[in-house]
């Protein structure tokens, strides 16, 4: 699904984040140590190759909600933005922390003059954040930033299942 809003394109689709040449930067749902691990980080590191792991060591560890940028190496993108999502534990800070992941990633992309950014559903895998709640935070945070973004023309959200995509489509209708 595609949506045009405030001169930006928003895209929502099912796919593997490590195979998306249509985006200048992809966002990694990283762990604090920026190591390969499973899920999104596993796929990104496997495709990018060992030079990504090496560069990541210089930036680690990162804080929850923080974002850092690296080269993309063998990935079909220019850059990888690594951000650490909160583990879902029902505490009150996590909403802000997850929002910060999107906010800081978009600001970093903007600073690096990146024109297109692709997000996975941060924290909704190993970190257990419920997809509906996480989606609302992702889309509301993105909406708030749209006016400030001059360089970024396209923001994508890649989901790993049709079910998750349906949640994004539903929430996007409400929020945008
Ligand atoms: P976190 O630790 O932040 O929860 P995960 O990587 O475990 O991160 O999962 C985040 C989301 O990404 C989950 O919804 C998961 O299904 C999805 N996911 C896992 N692998 C990929 C992939 N290769 N491409 C896109 N999304 C993926």
Residue 92 predicted with pLDDT over 90 = no
What does the block give as tokens for 13?
């689709």
Is the CB of residue 62 less than 8 Å from the CB of residue 108?
no
Entry pTM: 0.98
- CA–centroid distance, 31 to ligand 1, in Å, is 12
Structural domain count, the chain: 1
Average pLDDT, the chain: 97
State the CB neighbour count (10 A cutoff) for residue 138. Answer: 26
- CA–centroid distance, 67 to ligand 1, in Å, is 17
Q: What torsion, rounded to 10 degrees, do the Cα atoms 140, 158, 122, 37 define?
A: -170
With the most atoms of ligand 1 within 8 angstroms of its CB, the residue from 160, 161, 162, 165 to mutate is: 160
CATH number of the domain that residue 127 is part of: 3.40.220.10
For 38-51, write each residue's pLDDT tens digit: 999 999 999 999 99
Q: For residue 16, give its domain range.
A: 2-175
Is the CB of residue 42 less than 8 Å from the CB of residue 97?
no
Residue 52 predicted with pLDDT over 90 = yes
What residues contact 121, with CB distance under 8 A and at least 6 apart?
29, 131, 134, 135, 138, 157, 159, 160, 164, 168
CA atoms within 13 A on the CB side of 41: 21
């Amino acid at each position: 699904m595609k949506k045009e809003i405030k001169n930006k394109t928003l895209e929502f689709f099912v796919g593997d984040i490590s195979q998306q040449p249509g985006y200048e930067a992809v966002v990694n749902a990283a762990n604090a140590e920026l190591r390969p691990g499973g899920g999104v980080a596993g796929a990104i590191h496997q495709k990018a190759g060992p030079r990504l792991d090496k560069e990541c060591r210089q930036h680690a560890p990162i804080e929850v909600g923080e974002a850092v940028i690296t080269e993309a190496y063998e990935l079909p993108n220019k850059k990888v933005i690594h951000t650490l999502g909160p583990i879902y534990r029902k505490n009150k800070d996590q909403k802000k922390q997850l929002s910060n992941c999107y906010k800081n990633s978009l600001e970093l992309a903007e600073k690096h003059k990146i024109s297109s950014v692709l997000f996975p559903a941060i924290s909704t895998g190993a970190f257990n954040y419920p997809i509906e709640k996480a989606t609302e935070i992702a889309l509301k945070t993105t909406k708030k930033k749209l006016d400030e973004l001059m360089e970024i023309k396209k923001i994508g959200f890649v989901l790993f299942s049709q079910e998750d995509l349906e949640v994004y489509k539903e929430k996007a209708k409400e929020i945008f």
